[in-house]
Amino acid sequence: MAKIVFRDPLNRNTVTEHVVSEWLFSQETPYQQVDVFRTPEFGTVLALGGVINVSERDEIGYHEMLAHVPLFAHPNPRRVLIIGGGDGGTLREVVKHPGVEEAVMVEIDQVVVEQCKKHLPQVASAFDHPKANLIIGDGLAYVNEAPDASFDVILVDSTDPVDAGVVLFTPEFYAACHRVLRADGILVPQSDSIVYQPTRVAGVGKMLRESFASVDFYTSIVPTYPGSLWAFAFASKGPHPTRGLDSARIAELDAQLSYYHEELHQAAFVLPKFLRDQLRG
């Protein structure tokens, strides 16, 4: 019997193939193609729009770094907004912080939430947490309608700029996030592959600098993502990304973390010279 493979396009010239041991779900929603399958190497995988979005084996490198870097850099994050993140992994990490009072998550595709609850329960484990407020709706519309200075941290856990994710990679969206953030607020959008899409990553920085005076980049290793080295932009209205971290706060969560730690937080902002120069504004 011929083996089933999932072909994940890294760019127009390069494709990674994953052997599929069991196909669990496939549906085209009004927003994107949603697929869930099992692989021998990475366990259960969620693919959106034909591209791997989450894998059971390596999701911690993405979710822990997207959430904890800005939450520990912020002196007192109480209200957090997550745009996207239908798998629930970023929400799972945010509600771990004792000081967070509310985590509002706005996800456009109900199907993603339902299927992750069913097939990736260890990722989608926080939807019923008392701090969690899940809204099925348009993230851009939510931000445009949100009151000024209503959140401490905004995390954009979107797909790449395709399908429903396109509107979340614009200067207008970043300007709206700036308005919604409090005076010491931090915005972190996932920012694509430094290996395969460095121009796109640099473009995120350029757009953010139209609204934010301070923009830095950090990375994490996510093997199922193109090139494994993934970029996050750190746009701040005040807090520095690495100075003044509260080691006691970090130590309180240490037993609940598998990827993030304080030394890694510091090191994640150190980029190779050619990338540092390319991403510098």
What CATH code is carried by the domain that includes residue 228? 3.40.50.150
Would you say 32 is a known binding-site residue?
yes
Do residues 212 and 99 both lie within one domain?
A: yes
Mean pLDDT, residues 190-200:
90
Do residues 138 and 46 both lie within one domain?
A: no
Active site (catalytic) residues? 157
* Domain extent at residue 13: 4-55
Mean pLDDT, residues 210-218:
96
Whole-number average pLDDT of the chain: 94
Asked if 46 contacts 86 with a C-beta cutoff of 8 angstroms, the reply is: no
DSSP 8-state class, residue 258 = S
Query: Rounded to an integer, what distance in angstroms lies between the CA atom of residue 134 and that of residue 146?
Result: 15
How buried is residue 251: exposed, middle or buried, by Cβ count under 10 Å (0-12/13-18/19+)? exposed
Res. 158: pLDDT tops 90: no
Asked if 82 contacts 143 with a C-beta cutoff of 8 angstroms, the reply is: no
Query: Rounded to an integer, what distance in angstroms lies between the CA atom of residue 196 and that of residue 194?
Result: 6
Do residues 51 and 63 both lie within one domain?
A: no
Do residues 14 and 72 both lie within one domain?
A: no
The per-residue pLDDT for range 69-125, each reduced to its tens digit, is: 999 999 999 999 999 999 999 999 999 999 999 999 999 999 999 999 999 999 999
Do residues 144 and 204 both lie within one domain?
A: yes
Do residues 215 and 235 both lie within one domain?
A: yes
Asked if 117 contacts 39 with a C-beta cutoff of 8 angstroms, the reply is: no
Would you say 87 is a known binding-site residue?
yes
Do residues 20 and 103 both lie within one domain?
A: no
Would you say 192 is a known binding-site residue?
no
Q: In what order do the strands lie in the sheet with 79-84?
A: 132-136, 102-107, 79-84, 151-157, 181-193, 229-236, 214-221
Query: Rounded to an integer, what distance in angstroms lies between the CA atom of residue 120 and that of residue 52?
Result: 14
Do residues 112 and 128 both lie within one domain?
A: yes
CATH of the domain at 22: 2.30.140.10
Q: Of 37, 55, 73, which residue is a domain's last?
A: 55
Would you say 157 is a known binding-site residue?
yes
Please count the structural domains in the chain.
2
Of 35, 4, 8, 36, the residue nearest 20 (C-alpha): 4
Res. 184: pLDDT tops 70: yes
Who has greater pLDDT, 275 or 164? 275
Q: Of 14, 38, 55, which residue is a domain's last?
A: 55
Query: Rounded to an integer, what distance in angstroms lies between the CA atom of residue 225 and that of residue 32?
Result: 18
Burial 5-32 (b: 16+ CB within 10 A, else e): ebebebeeeeeeebebeeebeeeeeebb
What does the block give as tokens for 21? 């041991």
Q: Under DSSP, is residue 1 helix (H, G, I), strand (E, B) or coil?
A: coil
Q: How many CA atoms lie within 13 A of 118 on its CB side?
A: 12
Asked if 63 contacts 96 with a C-beta cutoff of 8 angstroms, the reply is: no
Of 106, 188, 114, the residue nearest 144 (C-alpha): 106
Do residues 36 and 168 both lie within one domain?
A: no
Do residues 243 and 207 both lie within one domain?
A: yes
The per-residue pLDDT for range 117-149, each reduced to its tens digit, is: 999 999 999 999 999 999 999 999 999 999 999
Who has greater pLDDT, 100 or 200? 100
Do residues 81 and 152 both lie within one domain?
A: yes
Do residues 123 and 43 both lie within one domain?
A: no
Query: Rounded to an integer, what distance in angstroms lies between the CA atom of residue 129 and that of residue 15?
Result: 38
Asked if 59 contacts 123 with a C-beta cutoff of 8 angstroms, the reply is: yes
